[in-house]
Amino acid sequence: MTEYVKIIYGDKTIELPVITGTEGEKAVDISTLRRKTGLITLDPGYTNTGSCLSTITFMDGEKGILRYRGIPVDQLAEHSTFVETAYLLINGALPKRKELETFSGLLNDQSLVHEDMQNFYQNFPRASHPMGILSSMVGAMRSFYPALQIAEEEINITTTRLISKIRTMAAMSYKISRGHKVVYPRPDLSYCANFLNMMFDTPVKPYHIDGDIVRALNVFWILHADHEQNCSTTAVRVVGSGRVNLYASISAGIAALWGPLHGGANQAVIEMLQNMEKNGLSANDVIEKAKGKETSFRLMGFGHRVYKTYDPRAKIIKKMCDKVLSKLNIQDPLLALAKELEEAALKDNYFVEHDLYPNVDFYSGIILRALGIPTNMFTVMFAIGRLPGWIAQWKESMEDPDWKISRPRQVYMGKPERDYKPIDER
């Protein structure tokens, strides 16, 4: 039985239906509000506005729940691989063995980047941020790989092409930025192992592939694969609503992810730790500074916009982080400072009472640094992981029978109508 919410405005009373999700979430359907009353809603940041119906990801910030297609993310992190999780997000179900083999084969077949694209990398200024380069290169892919004629083939090939080549392009940009020879993908290596090898293998020092490190990268990318209607995902859906190609939509998502309040948060954690080391600040110093109301200082990597309890991804990556640091036995003052900061925050009453726990960005920054990933590549690593989610969200929006081009309203607060004045009368 459908529930309704009554709206009384002047002498009008209207009823708006309540939509109930499978997990009990409720939303008021306001699609007829303006037509019936002349009113629109105002919701800065869209924090109380649902933009779509989706079957991809469920999250509950109050309870600390995150599930992909109904499967808890902790189960995927423990048992799955990034490639299998990507298939799950994009296709809606875990693959059977043959389906996974076919998907993995397509990823291998599409792993090479057109040789002409290397010329683009050579012509970016040396100081260019990798995210700006990646966004540009993904947008350029449409020129190198035009649309196919068969719709289903187009989606499958374009999907695997993006997932495979974005990893190759990221490693290629790193190698070129250092003046090193580009390392090509190998057909005998898994997705994550291939990336690590393309990043760190050199003619003078062959890269040793460690199963635990490969597993850590799998977990990192699984945890970042989707996160409901966040800033970058919304950008992908909004751009895609104009019926543009997938490359352009993903390029927009990469640009949105670039910001320090979104994908750049893990980079901001390391930069904060570097600043602490440079200025001789202890963990207790910055914690007290963060609690001070008279300062705008923000402790990066703690708390979350959505999760009002412990970030479920943080629990998983913390275990992997501890394992990697223990195995690699890295003597890094920044990593030692991070552990000190974590311990101090977890013992501080203010942080505990306000649910300001270390989030996934805090631990992911540490683990990426331990793996040898340059700080300016952290957000690129996030983008590679988030790609399957973006593709799944774009695909779902394209198949939505109630599709509408995104066109938010506004409340105009500017000057009322006035006449134009010639320049000499102003």
**Which pLDDT tens digits describe the chain residue by residue (426 residues)?**
789 999 999 999 999 999 999 999 999 999 999 999 999 999 999 989 999 999 999 999 889 899 999 999 999 999 999 999 999 999 999 999 999 999 999 999 999 998 888 888 888 887 888 899 999 999 999 888 876 555 666 678 889 999 999 999 999 989 888 888 899 999 999 999 999 999 999 999 999 999 999 999 999 999 999 999 999 999 999 999 999 889 999 999 999 999 888 888 888 888 999 999 998 989 888 888 888 776 677 888 888 878 877 889 988 998 898 889 888 887 788 888 888 898 898 888 888 888 888 889 888 888 999 899 999 899 999 999 999 999 999 999 999 998 999 999 999 999 999 999 999 999
Closest CA to 17 of 7, 32, 2: 2
Superfamily of domain 65-226+248-253: Citrate Synthase, domain 1 (1.10.580.10)
pLDDT of residue 147: 67
**Edge-to-edge strands of the sheet including 71-72?**
57-60, 65-68, 71-72
pLDDT of residue 329: 85
**Edge-to-edge strands of the sheet including 26-28?**
3-9, 12-20, 26-28
Active site residues: 304, 361
> What residue spans define the domains of the chain?
3-50, 65-226+248-253
What size, in residues, is the chain? 426
Whether 391 and 246 have beta carbons less than 8 Å apart is answered as: yes
How far is it, in rounded angstroms, from Cα 211 to Cα 191?
13
* Burial of 351 from C-beta contacts in 10 A (0-12 / 13-18 / 19+): buried
DSSP string across 56-91 = SEEEETTTTEEEETTEEHHHHHHH--HHHHHHHHHH
pLDDT of residue 156: 81
Looking at the DSSP bridge assignments, the partners of residue 308 are none
Q: Phi and psi dihedrals of 337, rounded to 5?
A: -65, -35
Residue labelled with tokens 């007290």: 288
DSSP type of residue 331:
-
Domain 3-50 is in which class?
Answer: mainly beta
How far is it, in rounded angstroms, from Cα 222 to Cα 84?
9
Whether 64 and 312 have beta carbons less than 8 Å apart is answered as: yes
Cβ neighbours around 352 below 10 Å, total: 12
How far is it, in rounded angstroms, from Cα 220 to Cα 87?
16
Whole-structure pTM value: 0.92
